[in-house]
Structure 1
Amino acid sequence: MNNRTLVERARHAGLSLRWRDAAGEMHRVSNESLRRLLAVLEGHAPPPRPRTALPAMVVGVAGQATVLPLPPGDAGGRFRLVLENGTEIEGKLRLMRGHPALPPVGVCGYHRLEVGDTPPATLAIAPPSCPRVSRMCAGGSVRAWGLGVQVYGLRMTGDGGIGHFGAVETLARTAAARGADALAISPAHAMFAARPGQYSPYSPSSRLFLNGLLADPHAVFDTATVQAAVVKEGTAYVDTLRQLEDAPLIDWVRASTCRYQLLRRLYDERIAASPPKAMRDFRKAGGRALEQHALFEALHAYFSTRGERGSDWRRWPVAMRQPDSPEVARFAQEFAHDVTFHVFVQWLAATSLARVCAGAQTAGMRIGLIKDMAVGVDPTGSECWARQSEFLLGASIGAPPDALSPLGQDWGLTTFSPAGLRATGYRAFIDTLRAGFAHGGGLRIDHVMALERLWIIPQGGASAEGSYLSFPVRDLMRLVALEAMRADAMVIGEDLGTVTTAFRKAAGAHGIMGMNVLFFERTPQGMFKPPAAWSPHATAMTTTHDLPTVAGWWQGTDIAWREKLHQLPAGLDPNTLHDERENDRTALWSALMQDRPATAARGRSGEKPPPDAAGAEKVVEEAIGFVGRAACPLALMAVEDMLGLAEQPNLPGTTSGHPNWQRRYPGMSATLLSGHETRRRFNRLRAGRAHE
């Protein structure tokens, strides 16, 4: 194969031939990398559709003409449109930009489109943008604000060492009583019941279902029933639960085992013989997707006990790799009790989550729960097993080499196949959005640039051997807006790092808010921007789960961890890093003092606090008020900052040494926000949001 043919194939598949690193230097993707990536992409490509046939889905915008990907000769032909509400519309196609086009359609939704003798297609008509925070919070005298929390870190008596949705509901009601309009939570995607050692919420088995460990048994069973089930497990079990609950860090393997042990007893004794109608209805509504997820969990547990190969469905016996095989059907019958257990777990989790969302709204939150959608899924998980043609099996996603990660990053996840998405009318993407929007008032999309492009790496290759793969960003953004409208929910896109101006502009036009994080809101000269200059199309934040807390940043806790774990960039002198942080402290304190309202300045010294715990306490309070005054329509404060904690939930680039996703909050969910210092920070935040 000559280079010209290879280049043409790569461009047709959406692969970039070159990429620019963080220093601005241009690199070329090797021919070998292109060949390996094309083997994956073309292996997932469906047969090409005839030029005269419509794709499975055409996506347009309400009130605008929709150009159809048909040959120009079809202009003037007739079309028939059946709207979701049953209304039928017939007419003639017009010509736009050299292609036939539909006249404007004013009704949003998924409609049936027929053009001539071609097979029908789905016409998705989206609103111009997602619901805006200003509309959702209209009528209030204070600009919207909320908290961000790691679900697993919350505490409740009897939780067995892992936070659950019951604790989230308690926190939501407490936060709402203090004026919060939203509560953003860490991803709650389904993990692997038989693989408790995998607990990063951003490495899920499926984004279509929920993490059973977050289910609150009290959402279905009364306290006496739950306590009786605990006691029946024996004294050693009860003692273990107490040890796990008292620990400062989560022991995921032991705590997960105990949680599923309790759920199994409740299922066996209270559910299995006669599932309640609510669970039967849930199972029926979940359909084939729910059955396949529950079946996968049972299969995964079965094969995981039979050697290392069993943990990856791609290494199961060939017949068991296919969800629709007769052998899998026989397994489902033989192990029906186990399959139904996993249906029960999903029902319990969904019921728990619904209670959280209802509780938040009842308590007065104008937005409610904001869920988090991970950028990809584990290729060995249930979603990839069930929908193999729709994911890029054989490739992983990550990031190219940069100053902080000279070898690049491989996240061990995979993503949608662009060709598979088009061939199925974006089915997998829409289903993922619907799962994310279910019950909540908002959705945060992790690594939102994935709507436009992702760095993909051939299986077994180094990150540097990857390339950017493009996605149909216009259609995907429109579908986000359509699903957000149907859920009446707002959308936040995680747009930190390398994001083009054009993408941010397009996202803003579609109502996908960006993220303005305190540490990154700087001028080209390195000075911190005043909050009035922050973007009106973004959410204001003190920090994120991947960044230092304000107290940790001020004290240099993150630098200390990097030094301890040898995570500093090659050639960087630690003293230089400490000097830079000291300069940044001076710049931040100067910005905080310059923007401080006169009422807050009374009795306070403008002298920069020392980089210790006492100094950090002063900085945290000032920073919360500062971010609260941001021009952004929504401000979200991490609970870690509201509590003045120095440790962050996750230290990116580490897999050991730092307790990623293991920290628990220092207090029960019901009283977590009641401390004197925390109440004072709430006062500063509320004052900031009321400030115009």
Structure 2
Amino acid sequence: MMIDLEKFADHVGIARDYYDCNGQYTQITKEARLATLGAMGYDLKDEKGLQNIILKEEITPYNEILDPVTVIREGERPFIMMRTLEKLSEAAVLSWTLTLESGEVYKGSCPLNEIEIADYEEVQGRVYDTRRFIIPNEFPQEVASLPLGYHTFKVAIDDGVVHYDSIEQSLIITPLKCYEPEEIKQGRKFWGVSVQLYSLRSRNNWGVGDFHDLKLLLKAVHDRGGEFVGLNPLHAGYPANPDPDMISPYSPSSRRWLNIIYISVPDVPEFSTCSVAKNYVASSAFTKKLQSLRDRDYVDYKSVLDLKLKVLEMIFDYNRMTDRRSNRGKKFLEFINQGGESLMSMATYDAMQRTFYQKGINAWGWMKFPKEYQECHGPFVIKWRELNKELVYFYCYLQFLAQEQLQDAYQAACDEGMVLGTYRDLAVGVSEGSCDVWADSDDIYRGSAEIGAPPDPLGPLGQSWGLATIEPHALRRSRYKQLIELYRANMQSCGALRIDHAAGLYRFWWVPVEHKATEGAYVNNNIHDWLGIIALESQRNKCMIIAEDLGTIPLELRIALKEVGALSYKLFFGEKAHDGGYIAPQDYEKQALSAVTTHDMPTLLGWWSDYDLKMGQELGIYTEDDVKRIGDERKYNKQRILDSLHGLGSVGEEVPRNANDIPQMTHELILGIERHMCRGSCVLFSSQIEDWIGVLKPVNVPGTFREYPNWRRKLTVNIEDLDKDNFVKELTKAMTQAREEASDK
């Protein structure tokens, strides 16, 4: 047979077209669609082999009778679809087994002909009926309403001659809505701050912001009236990689585990009893090195990690953490048991990478490991882990400490009465050379394409982010195991989770290797299933969901996010009316988090002074013409901002009405902008500490890699001194008052 590749691309969910962020209809080229089909794992050059694969994929759902997973949300018709051969005996009997998440098992049977036929079709010369098994009609009274959670379901059909067994289906029952704190249900509105954790300065950290600093910041923010601290992704990085530029929190090694650089060594319980470590830390040489790292304007990741890991190894070796006779040993071993295969793979990856680098191998990703170690679950890796058990356990210990300290900071905030406490950030994906890809036992990742974005105003040439793609059909076949673990892990120790690039819930822009970002295509995900799982984990973990829905977002996704109760993301600079003016924050959508800027934008000080344009020209991002064009547009925008602030009474005559009279950002203008946003309708407003203390340089410059020290710039003030600043006191007081006023409306 001749294969219609375009139709097959339709079948696997590769889009033919889309509407861009400006509402412009855009067709995806045939070449891009076929390249994406190849990146999904189909060999388009082997027509016979491809035919066999297509035939196998076509018949598999009918042979398996049930789908691998069914997600049913509250209020939806409780159907389980099954496929049976048309020509079965009239005497055929269907037997079913339902196993609840709690372990309870229910069984039953009925004549097959009592199960409604919803459709039929001919597949490979045989006719199959699609039957609709209705829940809870067929179940006993005690399970008339299935509880929320992860259950399993399977059936068997016996017609007296042949016996058919289905696969075991994962039956997921999910709530309609994500979690919402009672205070927000009651109409209260809150402010908080967003910060890059590594950028925090303090008198006692070791050259990078850590979990102890987070605890201090949470208290400081709450004391001033704030209810949350939003963080950059805390995902595991590459502690053994000596490359100073491989530190982006948005290109992690694992989104399931934490970045160990954030461990506060003095807060480790075993540190106080380890004389070797204490003496080493107290030495003059160590103290001098430590002060040097604290004083730097940019984080020196390698030097910080070298210091921390050396001391933490002393602590681990001294305390014999795998000793079951101590309470800490029991707790640690229980952590290892709960972490399971995922934790062991993460620890093994870090231990291996470190060992290979020490041997002179540039092991920046698992593809650069010696060949026998490139298979995570292979015999060579298993043997290596056994021979290097103590080193692997050490990296398990680091994850143990990181989880413990993050939870401690969050619990302290809860004990103080903070409504949300920490809010975490979930990155879009992981890099191709990451632990998550290496340890992928479900074969969901594809290395022949990268996640990116089509052209938009922020990236006119499109974007390709170097992140591995996830094949949606393989993910579904795996019963969403890794997706569930991912959301569950990232909803720990926080009151809210921000999902970066929420467009990915609906579809991802795949950029096949050796193709430009403009030559990609959208691959659709199963948004119904994904949002159901997110809602279930959100409710179970009492964690709000914030969807970063900027850029090219389909209307269907916006509607679905609203229905499930996820907060939208509103940026002041992006909320403009058709006449070029700025929309009043009071007219923003209520179900949203608003902010003035983000980590990908210049600070307020940098934006108003055009520092980002000057720097962009020096870095080669902007031409002289670009600077002129953007600068002229910015002058116009500054004036419209002032018009809005004055028009709504967010500033008084202390702020000039003419933008030309304000060459530099002032305290009065910053206070006015923050007050302006806090008076808005959004339930949450997130400020940036950089704008409180007048930081000029950005933390990240999109479009650069080695040209600018991204993800390293520190704040200019110690946390301990933050609350001593009179302007910070005045600003936070005004923000708190404005939020209270907004809550009363």
TM normalised by structure 1 equals 0.92
Q: Report the alpha carbon displacement of residue 22 of structure 1 after superposing the two structures with TM.
A: 5.8
Q: Report the alpha carbon displacement of residue 682 of structure 1 after superposing the two structures with TM.
A: 0.5
Aligned to 1:70: 82
Cα 1:115–1:667 change in 2 (3 A) is same
Aligned to 1:83: 100
Structure 2 residue 28 is the aligned partner of structure 1 residue 28:
yes
Determine helix, strand or coil for the equivalent of 1:435: helix
Aligned partner of 2:220 among 151, 174, 178: 174
Alignment of 1:343-354 (within 5 A): 343-354=396-407
Structure 2 residue 79 is the aligned partner of structure 1 residue 50:
no
Aligned AA (1:681): L
Which digits, 9 at most, give the CA deviation of each residue in 1:632-666, with x for residues without a partner?
11112122223343333211111133331111122
Once the two structures are overlaid, the 10-residue window that deviates more, 189-198 or 641-650, is: 641-650
CA contact (8 A) 1:94 1:103 kept: no
Which digits, 9 at most, give the CA deviation of each residue in 1:275-309, with x for residues without a partner?
62221111111111111111111111122334455
Q: Report the alpha carbon displacement of residue 94 of structure 1 after superposing the two structures with TM.
A: 5.5
Aligned partner of 1:250 among 291, 296, 299: 299
Cα distance in 1 for residues equivalent to 2:729 and 2:285: 40
Aligned to 2:699: 649
CA contact (8 A) 1:565 1:657 kept: yes
CA contact (8 A) 1:550 1:616 kept: no
Cα 1:613–1:288 change in 2 (3 A) is farther
Determine helix, strand or coil for the equivalent of 1:276: helix
Structure 2 residue 532 is the aligned partner of structure 1 residue 478:
yes
Cα 1:641–1:629 change in 2 (3 A) is same
Q: Report the alpha carbon displacement of residue 160 of structure 1 after superposing the two structures with TM.
A: 1.9
CA contact (8 A) 2:426 2:500 kept: yes
Cα distance in 1 for residues equivalent to 2:518 and 2:260: 36
Alignment of 1:399-418 (within 5 A): 399-402=453-456, 404-418=458-472
Cα 1:126–1:95 change in 2 (3 A) is farther
RMSD: 2.9
Structure 2 residue 252 is the aligned partner of structure 1 residue 204:
yes
Aligned to 1:491: 545
CA contact (8 A) 1:551 1:619 kept: no
Q: Report the alpha carbon displacement of residue 166 of structure 1 after superposing the two structures with TM.
A: 0.8
Cα distance in 1 for residues equivalent to 2:214 and 2:252: 20
Once the two structures are overlaid, the 10-residue window that deviates more, 13-22 or 223-232, is: 223-232
Cα 1:253–1:464 change in 2 (3 A) is same
Aligned AA (2:590): P
Aligned to 2:269: 221
TM normalised by structure 2 equals 0.86
Alignment of 1:9-408 (within 5 A): 9-18=8-17, 24=24, 26-31=26-31, 34-35=34-35, 37-42=37-42, 48=57, 49-51=60-62, 53-71=65-83, 79-85=96-102, 86=104, 88=106, 100-103=132-135, 105-117=145-157, 118-133=166-181, 135=182, 137-138=184-185, 142-196=188-242, 197=244, 198-221=246-269, 224=272, 229=277, 231-232=279-280, 235-271=284-320, 274=323, 276-387=329-440, 389-402=443-456, 404-408=458-462
Cα distance in 2 for residues equivalent to 1:639 and 1:94: 60
Cα 1:184–1:403 change in 2 (3 A) is closer
CA contact (8 A) 2:700 2:711 kept: yes
CA contact (8 A) 1:527 1:587 kept: yes
Q: Report the alpha carbon displacement of residue 474 of structure 1 after superposing the two structures with TM.
A: 1.1
Once the two structures are overlaid, the 10-residue window that deviates more, 24-33 or 582-591, is: 24-33
Aligned partner of 1:424 among 478, 484, 496: 478
Q: Report the alpha carbon displacement of residue 33 of structure 1 after superposing the two structures with TM.
A: 6.0
Q: Report the alpha carbon displacement of residue 461 of structure 1 after superposing the two structures with TM.
A: 3.0
CA contact (8 A) 1:593 1:606 kept: no
CA contact (8 A) 1:93 1:100 kept: yes
Cα 1:573–1:183 change in 2 (3 A) is closer
Alignment of 1:592-671 (within 5 A): 592-596=645-649, 601=652, 604-608=654-658, 615-671=665-721
Aligned to 1:468: 522
CA contact (8 A) 1:151 1:168 kept: yes
Aligned AA (1:636): S
Aligned to 1:551: 605
Aligned to 1:440: 494
Q: Report the alpha carbon displacement of residue 578 of structure 1 after superposing the two structures with TM.
A: 1.1
Cα distance in 2 for residues equivalent to 1:154 and 1:93: 62
Cα 1:227–1:583 change in 2 (3 A) is farther
Aligned AA (1:157): R
Structure 2 residue 608 is the aligned partner of structure 1 residue 576:
no
Q: Report the alpha carbon displacement of residue 236 of structure 1 after superposing the two structures with TM.
A: 3.4
Q: Report the alpha carbon displacement of residue 114 of structure 1 after superposing the two structures with TM.
A: 2.7
Cα 1:273–1:505 change in 2 (3 A) is closer
Aligned AA (1:64): E
Cα distance in 2 for residues equivalent to 1:81 and 1:673: 57
Cα distance in 1 for residues equivalent to 2:734 and 2:535: 34
Aligned AA (1:335): N
Aligned AA (1:63): G
Aligned to 1:674: 724
Cα 1:124–1:225 change in 2 (3 A) is same
Cα 1:392–1:201 change in 2 (3 A) is same
Determine helix, strand or coil for the equivalent of 1:50: helix
Q: Report the alpha carbon displacement of residue 627 of structure 1 after superposing the two structures with TM.
A: 0.8
Once the two structures are overlaid, the 10-residue window that deviates more, 459-468 or 574-583, is: 459-468
Unaligned runs of 5+ in 2: 44-49, 87-91, 120-129, 137-144, 158-165
Determine helix, strand or coil for the equivalent of 1:652: coil
Determine helix, strand or coil for the equivalent of 2:487: helix
CA contact (8 A) 1:493 1:515 kept: yes
Q: Report the alpha carbon displacement of residue 188 of structure 1 after superposing the two structures with TM.
A: 0.4
Cα distance in 2 for residues equivalent to 1:223 and 1:666: 29
Cα distance in 1 for residues equivalent to 2:340 and 2:201: 34
Cα 1:36–1:592 change in 2 (3 A) is closer
User: In terms of Rg, which structure is larger?
Assistant: 2
Aligned residues: 685
Unaligned runs of 5+ in 1: none
Q: Report the alpha carbon displacement of residue 523 of structure 1 after superposing the two structures with TM.
A: 1.0
Once the two structures are overlaid, the 10-residue window that deviates more, 653-662 or 89-98, is: 89-98
Q: Report the alpha carbon displacement of residue 572 of structure 1 after superposing the two structures with TM.
A: 4.2
Q: Report the alpha carbon displacement of residue 615 of structure 1 after superposing the two structures with TM.
A: 3.7
CA contact (8 A) 1:212 1:349 kept: yes
CA contact (8 A) 1:395 1:459 kept: yes
Determine helix, strand or coil for the equivalent of 1:630: coil
Aligned AA (1:208): R
Aligned to 2:125: none
Cα distance in 2 for residues equivalent to 1:30 and 1:387: 31
Cα distance in 1 for residues equivalent to 2:558 and 2:737: 30
Percent pairwise identity: 27
Determine helix, strand or coil for the equivalent of 1:477: helix
CA contact (8 A) 1:66 1:103 kept: yes
Aligned AA (2:346): H
Cα 1:59–1:168 change in 2 (3 A) is same
Determine helix, strand or coil for the equivalent of 1:355: helix
